[in-house]
């Protein structure tokens, strides 16, 4: 997303009925199923996360990730910052 992109405030987001939101969530979870959920650790911080399968090899994703829930945190050992153009490419592929 470019820096010139407009951001939406809570008042700009259309209001949805609770039943509509649950249908949207069901559709999203059907399209992007949860591959793994558990704790993700970076340095001294830990967060509970859900990883969703977006595309690629689903079997590889399942085999590469630790056992879901209850296991040790998935630790990020090294991170790399993306340049703006790389980040835009990732955002385009997610659409």
Q: What is the predicted pLDDT for the residue at 91?
A: 84
Q: How many structural domains is the chain composed of?
A: 1
pLDDT at 66 over 80: yes
Q: What is the 3-state secondary structure (H, E, C) of the chain?
A: CCCCCCCCCCCCCCCCCHHHHHHHHHHHHHHCCEEEEEEEEECCEEEEEEEECCCCCHHHHHHHCCCCCCCCCEECCCCCCCCHHHHHHHHHHHC
Q: Which domain holds residue 39?
A: 18-94
Please state the rounded mean pLDDT for residues 49-66. Answer: 88
> Is position 37 within any domain?
yes
> Is position 26 within any domain?
yes
> Is position 3 within any domain?
no
Q: The CATH number of the domain where 69 resides is what? A: 2.40.290.10
> Is position 43 within any domain?
yes
pLDDT tens-place string over residues 2-52? 333 443 444 454 565 666 667 788 888 889 999 889 999 998 999 999 999
């Amino acid at each position: 997303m470019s820096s010139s992109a407009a951001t939406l405030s809570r008042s700009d987001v259309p209001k949805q009925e609770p039943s509509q939101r649950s249908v949207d969530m069901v559709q999203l979870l059907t399209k992007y199923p949860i591959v793994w959920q558990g704790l993700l650790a970076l340095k001294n911080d830990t967060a509970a996360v859900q990883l969703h399968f977006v595309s690629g090899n689903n079997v590889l994703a399942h085999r590469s990730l630790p056992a879901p829930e209850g296991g040790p945190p998935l630790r990020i050992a090294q991170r790399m910052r993306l340049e703006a153009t790389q980040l835009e490419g990732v955002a385009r592929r997610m659409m």
